[in-house]
Amino acid sequence: MSRLRIALLAAAVTTAVLPTVAHAGLTDCDLSPDGALCAATSAAGAVGSAEEPLIPARDAARLAADGVLEKEGLCDPLDHAGCLLPFPNDRWTVADPSTATGRRLSLSPLSMPRNLANRPIDPSELNRNDGWSQGTPILTSVQGLSVKKSGIPTEADPGDSLKPDAPVVLLDAATGQRWPYTAELDGNPTSGEQPLLIVRPAVNFLEGHRYVVALRHLKDTAGRAIPAGAEFAALRSKAAATDRVFGPLMRARVPTKDLFLAWTFTIASTRSNTERMLHIRDDAFASLKGKAPSFTVDKVQDGYSDRVARRVTGTFTVPNYLTTPVNTKEPVLETDPGLPGTRFLYLPGSDLPARNGDFTATYTCDIPVSASAKQPARGSLYGHGLLGGQGEVGAGNVQKMGQENNILFCATDWYGMATGDVPNVATFLADMSYFPTLPDRVQEGMLAQLFLARLIKDPHGFASDASFQGRLKPGTVYYDGNSQGGIIGGALLAVSQDITRGVLGVVGMNYSTLLDRSSDFSTYESVLNASYPSEVDREVLFGLIQPLWDRAENDGYAAHITNNPLPHTPKHTVLLDIAFGDHQVSNYSALVMARTLGARTNVGFLAKGRSWETSPGWGLPRFSGSWNGSALVFWDSGTNRPPLDNVPPAETSGVPGHDPHEDPRATYLARVQKGLFLQPHGTVVDVCRGLPCKGRPLGPEDPPKSS
């Protein structure tokens, strides 16, 4: 850590822990009527010395403040390691009969994690939600805990989580059903902090359901039993069948006398996750009145490459629902001038975004050499990667996919997570109060993708323009996206009325799971860690923002992609192409997604000894030959197995350390499989003929020369 950062951090811990928070309408000590909180922070403010400054991640001032907040009911007394622990928790909700769950999040700014400038995260946008994320991490601190000695199931054995004597019990409060999970101790602890126990659902929780989590029979590294804290022991002694926590456990015959800790939380409803996106979709498409979106052709490049006969670029018009159109400086209504970038526009008295004019999006379409007037190409969207742009449609593997399968790919920037959004990302990494700008912008970006899909599908769209030379076959449109294009692509498919079949390449979901496990995150993590130096706070922060992520990524939509479609939306079929040992997108999260949406996997799955699971492919039925539903297929490039902890795979020299993230899309057989799938009556064909699928460099990049 640099001397400058040390000086800044030392200055932060000597200031009051409750600064003025103008955007939240708070002033110092407003929520401490007797002044005890200010007194505590003042007394604890001066820590360390000039010779050896004390700079712990959760300093004495913050711990003292948490103690006072706890007395005022703003911190949970069951876990003293952090104000909002254990997490998630119905303690931070209130009854609200207007919501689908009957509850609403009610987080106080004073309880929220604080950045280096001592500013708490503004919970205003979170408090619109009627519950927690369906993929939420479950967090608590257990001093000296050993996951191994306690027998807590990890990613290696999710099936063990359903055993009668499992040390962690996840229970549906209404049905009594046990829920599968995996767990780990945080692999990124800050010095001086007890690593958090992180429990993750192995299949996403059901929307709108309430769950009880119970911990028992926990042991430390020496194998000694860890007793419950005094606060919980007192509650446990009064356990009653009418209690919201102990009642469901008693009915499920889970003994309460030996519990270490138990609490309950409610999962957000379908409405809470999706209604904003569905609203802007329905409102925007109604404005078309049955016509295709308006578009221009600005440039035509013939002979673009040996695989792309013509590149067409131009613009199209998309209704805007943000406070500021994404590409104009015209004066507009601004509901919260304290936030940078763009947010949904909410008019007074409304909880749904209002239209605020239009914005002009750009597109790039590549007509493959294989397309002709006699054999027009199928049309497909292409979804680009992390903070990239539509230019990725010109990548060599995409050109090969188009030429080999006669597919015309079109792309637009995914506003919200495109290159132009990098400054906004840097802003909220330093102050997560600004994070809601990301999901709002991504949803507007999803709307742009939907409008581009309509232009591909509608006979009066691109197919009607001479620039496409009659080489685009209207009537159907598909989706093929990679990495971020897969992580957000499933959400897009779940709300698309035009696309019913898509490939999600090197895909995963749930950023609270993905971030720590991704090699991509290291660059951004350095900014986040400097702003939020406590790992306990950071993990809580990941859990807090996941309900907002759910509005704009697979985690919030996976349950509606293939089954239980959203209102006025068809069912969708997806192919999940996975790079075994992916350094950027966690394989573990891909398996959770596949289980959640009800996918199958090929009979070859992975070679013996390659899976990290004791029961390889747990929860995924197999198919052989072909399958007309959704499927997950691993492509194995010979790289190392991913670690079980929440850390990115190690990068070392040679094939074992090779990052296979790019390999499935660069493997010929994978492209053959995708081409067979992206057809009106396509199926997932086992192109590996009952064997594990091999990705580049073990599998060929190009078709055999004889073909």
Q: DSSP letter for 374, please.
A: S
Q: What pLDDT does residue 15 have?
A: 33
Closest CA to 199 of 171, 174, 176: 171
The pLDDT value recorded for residue 330 is 44
Write down the pLDDT at residue 45.
34
d(C-alpha 601, C-alpha 635), whole Å: 12
Is 328 a residue whose pLDDT tops 60?
A: no
Average pLDDT of the segment spanning 141-147: 97
What is the predicted pLDDT for the residue at 19?
A: 32
d(CA 41, CA 62): 7
For residues 293 and 449, is the Cβ–Cβ distance under 8 A? Answer: no
Mean pLDDT along residues 534-546: 97
Beta partners for 319? 358
What pLDDT digit, counting tens, does each position of 380-389 carry? 999 999 999 9
Q: And the tokens for 601?
A: 């996997």
Using a pLDDT cut of 90, give the percent of the chain over it. Answer: 83
Predicted pLDDT of residue 32: 34
Distances (CA, A) of 382 to 400, 407, 503, 563, 679: 13, 11, 10, 24, 16
In this model, does residue 208 exceed pLDDT 70? yes
CA 645 to chain centre: 18
Q: Which of 203, 204, 198 is nearest to 184 (CA)?
A: 198
pLDDT at 172 over 60: yes
Provide the token pair at 100: 């689908």
Residue 119 DSSP one-character state = P
Is the Cβ–Cβ distance between 466 and 368 less than 8 Å? no
Q: What is the pLDDT of residue 3?
A: 36
Instruction: Read off the DSSP letter of residue 267.
Output: B
**pLDDT greater than 50 at residue 34:** no
Give the per-residue pLDDT at 17: 32
What gap in Å lies between CA 564 and CA 9, rounded to an integer? 49
650-655: average pLDDT: 59
Least confident of 16-30, 221-235, 483-497: 16-30
How many residues make up the chain in this entry?
A: 707
Work out the end-to-end distance of the chain between its first and last CA atoms, rounded to an integer number of angstroms.
Answer: 58
Cα–Cα distance measured from residue 510 to residue 375, given in angstroms and rounded to the nearest whole number: 40
- In sequence order, the β-bridge partners of residue 347 are none
**pLDDT grade, residue 156 (50/70/90)?**
very high
Q: What is the pLDDT of residue 644?
A: 92
- Rounded to whole angstroms, the Cα distance separating 623 from 634 reads 14
> How confident is the model at residue 70, as a pLDDT?
87
3-class state of residue 339 by DSSP: coil
Confidence of residue 268 (pLDDT cuts 50, 70, 90): very high
User: Over the chain, what is the mean pLDDT?
Assistant: 90
Task: Name the burial class of residue 393, with classes exposed (0-12), middle (13-18) and buried (19+) by CB atoms within 10 angstroms of its CB.
Answer: buried
Between 18 and 636, the more confident residue is 636
State CA 578 to chain mean position distance: 17
| Residue 224 confidence (pLDDT) above 80 | yes
Specify burial of residue 375 (Cβ count, 10 A radius: 0-12, 13-18, 19+): exposed
Angstrom CA distances, 309 to 381, 405, 678, stand at 18, 14, 21
Q: What is the pLDDT of residue 62?
A: 72
**H helix or E strand, kind and range, residue 533:** none
Residue 275 pLDDT? 98
Residue 314 contacts residue 281 (beta carbons within 8 Å): no
pLDDT per residue over 597-646, tens digit each? 999 999 999 999 999 999 999 999 999 999 999 999 999 999 999 999 99
Spell out the residues 6+ positions from residue 57 whose beta carbon is closer than 8 angstroms to its own. Answer: 190, 191, 192, 193, 533, 534, 535, 536, 537
Q: Give the model's pLDDT for residue 515.
A: 97
User: Higher model confidence: residue 225 or residue 330?
Assistant: 225
pLDDT at 35: 38
Q: What is the DSSP letter of 643?
A: P
143 has pLDDT over 60 = yes
Instruction: Please determine, for residue 106, whether its predicted confidence score (pLDDT) is greater than 90.
Output: yes
CB 322 within 8 A of CB 444: yes
Buried/exposed code over 573-595 (b: 16+ C-beta within 10 A; e: otherwise): bbbbbbbbbbbbbbbbbbbbbbb
Query: How distant is the alpha carbon of residue 500 from its chain centre?
Result: 22
**Smallest Cα–Cα separation from 499: which of 509, 508, 507, 489?**
489
Q: Report the alpha-carbon distance of residue 55 to residue 618 in Å, rounded.
A: 44
pLDDT computed for residue 654 by the predictor: 53
Per-residue confidence band for 523, with pLDDT thresholds at 50, 70 and 90: confident
Residues 6+ away with beta carbon under 8 Å from 649? 519, 581, 582, 583, 639, 640, 642, 643, 659
Could you give the strand order of the β-sheet that contains 168-172, starting from the edge strand earlier in sequence? 168-172, 210-216, 259-266
Instruction: Look at 21-25, 409-413, 551-555, 579-583 and tell me which has the smallest mean pLDDT.
Output: 21-25
Q: Distance of CA 307 to CAs 28, 314, 385, Å?
A: 64, 21, 22
Q: What is residue 59's predicted lDDT score, i.e. its pLDDT?
A: 66
Q: Quick count: other Cβ atoms within 10 Å of Cβ 284?
A: 21
Q: Residue 643 — φ and ψ, nearest 5°?
A: -70, 160
Q: Quick check: 211 and 264 in contact, CB under 8 A?
A: yes
Record the tokens describing residue 647, joined without a space: 């850390």
> Residue 171 is inside which H or E element, if any?
strand 168-172
Lowest mean pLDDT of 39-53, 354-368, 549-563, name the range. 39-53
From the number of C-beta atoms within 10 Å of its C-beta (0-12, 13-18, 19+), residue 467 rates as middle
- What's the pLDDT band for 497 if we cut at 50, 70, 90? very high
Domains recognised in the chain with CATH numbers: 1-74 (no CATH), 79-286 (2.60.40.1220), 502-509+565-707 (no CATH)
Q: Is the pLDDT of residue 54 over 60?
A: no
What is the distance between the alpha carbons of residues 514 and 517, in angstroms, rounded to a whole number? 5
CB atoms near residue 526 (< 10 Å): 11
